[in-house]
Amino acid sequence: MVDPRVSIIDERMRDIRKVIAVSSGKGGVGKSLIASILGLTLAKKGYKVGLFDLDFTSPSTHIILGIEGVQPKEDKGIIPPKVHGLEYMSIVYYSRDQATPLRGADVSNALIELLSITKWGKLDFLVLDMPPGIGDATLDLIRLIKKAEFLIVTTPSQLAFETVKKLASLLNGLRVPIVGVVENMKMNQSETIRQQTQKLGLTYLSGIPYDPNIEKTIGKTNRLLDTRFAKKVEQIVPSL
Amino acid sequence: MVDPRVSIIDERMRDIRKVIAVSSGKGGVGKSLIASILGLTLAKKGYKVGLFDLDFTSPSTHIILGIEGVQPKEDKGIIPPKVHGLEYMSIVYYSRDQATPLRGADVSNALIELLSITKWGKLDFLVLDMPPGIGDATLDLIRLIKKAEFLIVTTPSQLAFETVKKLASLLNGLRVPIVGVVENMKMNQSETIRQQTQKLGLTYLSGIPYDPNIEKTIGKTNRLLDTRFAKKVEQIVPSL
Amino acid sequence: MHEWALAEAVIAAAAEAAEKERLKEITEVWIKVGELQQVELDILEFALSQLKTDKFKNAKFKIATAKAELQCRVCGHKWVFNKETLDKDAAEAIHFVPEVAHTYIKCPKCGSPDFEIIEGRGVWLESIKGAK
Amino acid sequence: MHEWALAEAVIAAAAEAAEKERLKEITEVWIKVGELQQVELDILEFALSQLKTDKFKNAKFKIATAKAELQCRVCGHKWVFNKETLDKDAAEAIHFVPEVAHTYIKCPKCGSPDFEIIEGRGVWLESIKGAK
Ligand SMILES: Nc1ncnc2c1ncn2[C@@H]1O[C@H](COP(=O)(O)OP(=O)(O)O)[C@@H](O)[C@H]1O
Ligand SMILES: Nc1ncnc2c1ncn2[C@@H]1O[C@H](COP(=O)(O)OP(=O)(O)O)[C@@H](O)[C@H]1O
Ligand SMILES: [Mg+2]
Ligand SMILES: [Mg+2]
Ligand SMILES: [Mg+2]
Ligand SMILES: [Mg+2]
Ligand code: NI
Ligand code: NI
Ligand SMILES: [Zn+2]
Ligand SMILES: [Zn+2]
């Protein structure tokens, strides 16, 4: 017995120029905020952009982007609605944002299902908001989307950077491209993470300061784009 | 064919008075820091305490506690070494702190293996540092350790509290006891999370301020216990 | 209508299988459809007929359905998925992403959402027949 | 020597199974041990003999071993675990927690750590025989 879904995924990704997986071994480092703002920024620059929230048990990009009351259309597959200039896909369309306890095998199945039925069409960028940890979603992404590139997020904390090292070593071992490392929630001008990143042979893309006011802009895309956070995310674009 | 391991887990937990799972749908909210300091605090008060790091793909309590160069002993099972007064167990003894990509089914298997071979002996408290998300580790814990109680960690952010609501609704539906909610990384005196917690019918245990100096104490248990963070964690103890 | 996307996957997988077995022509394609996903079989069949490439021109598509059997990981209870017990929105959500069953369905015996879909999820390519 | 803990689990599981089947006495216990975990069979057997409760007093323990077969999820390659290719520390770590195989072993064909242990992990209770 063969699972036919994996045979169509290449076809579904065919017209997507770049797939950027925003990831980190660690949770709470700002992956979802960076993925959301990176998506908005690219769209504002005129690119065709998709954003796909792959944190199925704790999705948050719909909250960051204030997305409510939209659903995909069905047309020989499912067509993500365009919201704030992004073709936006999330499991919340189907879980209605209720608790969705999923084991790894379920995460894998849901990911494969959505990859095989979603019709993104032509995109310049598909941004993926990854869950924390190195588990089913990350492994399936590596396995199924050969053109995926990883953008790794860390904070200045040792605790975060340790998991980043592990993720980078996994990706390097498999020759999966790493766009570079973003250091988020910087509290001071320390160069430590920049240096450690370069020592790993990785590109240091941007250092985003801790901004106590970011919380107030959540759910409001115009205000999100007006923050210093967004300016710092914009610095990443030329490296993509 | 029967997996014999699950039949011995009750026996392994028999002499443990309380099992406290420090959890949160969200990553990066301070679960590992709180679990570590809670463990140290209870031990300092004279309780017999175990600490078990269940974040297998991104373990961090060994870094927080500065644990290196110890290994469990083998004696009709494995006996966790006592470090800083804690019987301490982590997958890093076996992964040597290298990248350990695990799918959910592997997480489940490793958890069941360690639960069935680890001999904690008599403990007042076994503190579990949970991974983020609502996945295999959380579901197996609910399934296999009937006496587990959940201590839920959030930050003041909507993004974190949304996932806390989902976790609480899952646990309530299954009548799994929730010790209460800890609000970590408070930047101001806002009462919002306290009110929202109480609206959910849950106990608000403690509000821990954001402390930019905590990073410097990581790896140094004496200094960790000297922080305001630790004072705030101590407030939780009477509710356990 | 996302049955069309699933049909495309079946055709692609059958073509791959034919390639591996070095078949010049495919005469039969056996498909299994699990009831959990509530795939509309007539749409699936129509889509398959429209998506036929040259290799499939004489192919018959044989579709079997499988009941959706769920088993609770906590209490071991087994039961069969019954669409009628769900509201329309939940059933539709499961149609697209069967895993959200863990949001809407609980073990009828113990109330746990921690169950396994042991049979009857998704669309499977069972086997193909053809000529070399 | 953590084989003792595994033996305790086997005895507990066999006793539970006997309870379910309402057996008064257990005469045979069939056990399967996967090679990935490198369980020391003589220690396991000794532990089982020492842990026998009354119900097991005439029980024979029959232990079969299973080769550890791994299959890569990326390229599909299958291979058999060979302890000799690992350094001693890695082999010992896998002895305790077989899942750390994903830290030390890579697919020999494509280098991926994303493989499945399709056979030969852990200790299993295959079946029991007894008298009512
Ligand atoms: N630069 C920053 N300054 C202040 N708060 C931030 C910053 N980046 C992220 N946050 C906050 O940190 C929390 C975690 O961010 P999130 O994007 O959800 O991380 P992840 O997706 O990695 O779990 C959120 O509450 C978010 O608002
Ligand atoms: N109250 C606090 N003040 C400052 N930093 C904190 C505080 N609590 C946690 N941190 C930091 O936040 C990061 C995440 O903490 P951690 O305990 O690893 O969270 P989790 O286990 O939930 O992922 C770490 O870098 C930690 O040092
Ligand atoms: Mg996130
Ligand atoms: Mg942690
Ligand atoms: Mg579907
Ligand atoms: Mg073992
Ligand atoms: Ni449909
Ligand atoms: Ni041993
Ligand atoms: Zn049940
Ligand atoms: Zn391989």
A11, A223, B38, D125: which is closest to C6 by C-alpha? A11
Indicate if the alpha-carbon torsion angle A4, A150, A53, A77 is positive or negative.
negative
pTM: 0.96
Which residue in A143, A170, A173 is closest to D73 by CB distance?
A143
Q: What is the mean pLDDT of residues D15-21?
A: 94
Pick from C5, C102, C123: CB nearest A77? C5
Question: Please, is C15 exposed, middle or buried when counting C-beta atoms within 10 Å of its C-beta (0-12, 13-18, 19+)?
Answer: middle
- What total of structural domains would you count in chain A? 1
**Three-state SS at A62:** helix
Residues D91-103: tens digit of each pLDDT: 999 999 999 999 9
- Note the pLDDT tens digit of each residue in B225-239: 999 999 999 999 999
Cβ pair A11, A167 in contact under 8 A = no
Burial A144-174 (b: 16+ CB within 10 A, else e): bbeebbbbbbbbbbbbbbbbbbbbbebbeeb
Distance A64 CA to ligand 2 centre (A): 21
Rounded to a whole number of angstroms, the distance from the CA of A203 to the nearest CA of chain D is 24
Torsion of CA B184, B185, B188, B192, to 10 degrees: -40
- pLDDT score, position D107: 97
Site to probe by mutation for ligand 2, drawn from B214, B218, B227, B232 as the one with most ligand atoms within 8 Å of Cβ, is: B214
The count of other CB atoms within 10 Å of the CB of residue B43 is 22
Give the residue from chain A lying closest to B61, CA to CA: A159
Measure the CA–CA gap between A122 and A17, rounded to whole angstroms.
8
Please list, in sequence order, all residues whose beta carbon lies within 8 angstroms of the beta carbon of residue C54, skipping any fewer than 6 positions away.
none
Calculate mean pLDDT across residues B211-237: 95
- Please report which ligand is nearest the Cα atom of B54: 4
Task: In whole angstroms, give the CA distance from residue B70 to residue A188.
Answer: 35
Q: What is the pLDDT of residues B94-112, one digit of tens each?
A: 999 899 999 999 999 999 9
Q: Tell me, what CATH number does C43's domain have?
A: 3.30.2320.80
| C132: confidence class by pLDDT, cuts 50, 70, 90 | confident
Residue A20's beta-bridge partner residues?
A127, A149
Q: Are A154 and A202 in contact (CB under 8 A)?
A: no
| First-residue to last-residue Cα distance in chain C | 34
Q: In a 3-state reduction of DSSP, which class is residue B70?
A: coil
Classify the C-alpha dihedral A212-A215-A216-A218 as positive or negative: positive
Question: In B63-102, which positions are buried (b, 16+ CB within 10 angstroms) versus exposed (e)?
Answer: bbbebeeeebebebbbbbbebbbbbbbbbbbbbebebbbb
Please tell me the distance in Å from B60's CA to the nearest CA on chain A: 6
Measured from the Cα of B28, ligand 2's closest atom is: 23
pLDDT in tens, chain A (240 residues): 899 999 999 999 999 999 999 999 899 999 999 999 999 999 999 999 999 999 999 999 999 999 999 999 999 999 999 999 999 999 999 999 899 999 999 999 999 999 999 999 999 999 999 999 899 999 999 999 999 999 999 999 999 999 999 999 999 999 999 999 999 999 999 999 999 999 999 999 999 999 988 999 999 999 999 999 999 999 999 999
Say what the pLDDT of residue C80 is.
97
Of the bound ligands, which one is closest to the alpha carbon of residue A160? 2
Which two structure tokens, joined as six digits, stand for B113? 């293996």
- Sign for the CA dihedral angle at B215, B167, A115, A61 comes to negative
Phi and psi, residue B215, nearest 5°:
-55, -35
| Cα distances (angstroms) measured from residue D100 to each of A95, B24, B71 | 33, 25, 16
Q: What is the pLDDT of residue D132?
A: 86
CA angle A54, A57, A59 (to 5 degrees): 55
Alpha-carbon distance of A70 to A74, in angstroms, equals 13
Q: Distance from the CA of D102 to the center of ligand 2, in angstroms?
A: 28
Q: 3-state class of B183 per DSSP?
A: strand
Alpha helices in chain B (DSSP H): 6-13, 31-44, 61-64, 92-95, 104-117, 136-144, 158-173, 192-199, 214-217, 221-225, 228-234
Residues of chain C by 3-state class (helix, strand, coil), percent to 5: 40, 30, 30
CA of A39 to the centre of ligand 3 (A): 14
Phi and psi at D67, nearest 5°, equal -60, 150
Closest ligand to the CA of D44: 8
Rounded mean pLDDT of chain D? 95
Q: Please say whether the beta carbons of A22 and A31 come within 8 A.
A: yes
Q: Of C82, C58, C86, C55, which Cα lies nearest the Cα of C68?
A: C82
Which of B27, B101, B167 lies closest to A27 in CB terms? B27
Q: Using a 6 Å cutoff on CB, does residue B28 contact ligand 2?
A: yes
Contact indicator for B4, D123 with CB cutoff of 8 Å: yes
**Does C1 have pLDDT greater than 70?**
no
How far does the centroid of ligand 5 lie from the alpha carbon of residue C121, in Å? 10
**Binding-site residues, ligand 1, Cβ < 6 A:** A 27-33, 60, 184-185, 208, 210-211, 214-215, 229; B 27-28, 155, 157, 159-160
The predicted structure's pLDDT at residue D71: 98
Give the model confidence (pLDDT) of C8-27 as tens digits: 999 999 999 999 999 999 99
pLDDT of residue C79: 98
Residue B179 to residues A28, A148, B23, Cα–Cα distance (Å): 23, 42, 11
Please give the Cα distance from B43 to A117 (Å, whole number): 53
Res D1 pLDDT > 70: no
- D113 CB neighbours in chain A (<8 A) are 170, 173
Q: What is the CATH number of the domain that holds B134?
A: 3.40.50.300
Nearest to residue C127, comparing CAs of C19, C32, C20, C58?
A: C32
Min Cα–Cα distance to chain D from B138, Å: 18
**Range(s) of the domain holding residue C119:** 2-131
Number of domains in chain D: 1
The answer to whether the CB of D60 falls within 8 A of the CB of D98 is no
For residue B162, what is the DSSP state? H
d(CA B237, CA B163): 24
Residues making up chain A, counted from first to last: 240
For residue range B155-189, list pLDDT tens digits in order: 999 999 999 999 999 999 999 999 999 999 999 99
pLDDT of residue A97: 86
Answer whether B36's CB lies under 8 Å from B191's CB: no
| Residue numbers of C between 52 and 71 with CB closer than 8 Å to A | none
Domain range for B36: 4-239
Q: D12 pLDDT band (50/70/90 cuts)?
A: very high
- Predicted local confidence at residue C82, as pLDDT: 92
pLDDT greater than 90 at residue C97: yes
- Tokens 């609502």 locate to B134
Residues B40-62, mean pLDDT to the nearest whole number? 97
Copy the structure tokens of residue A169: 């070593």
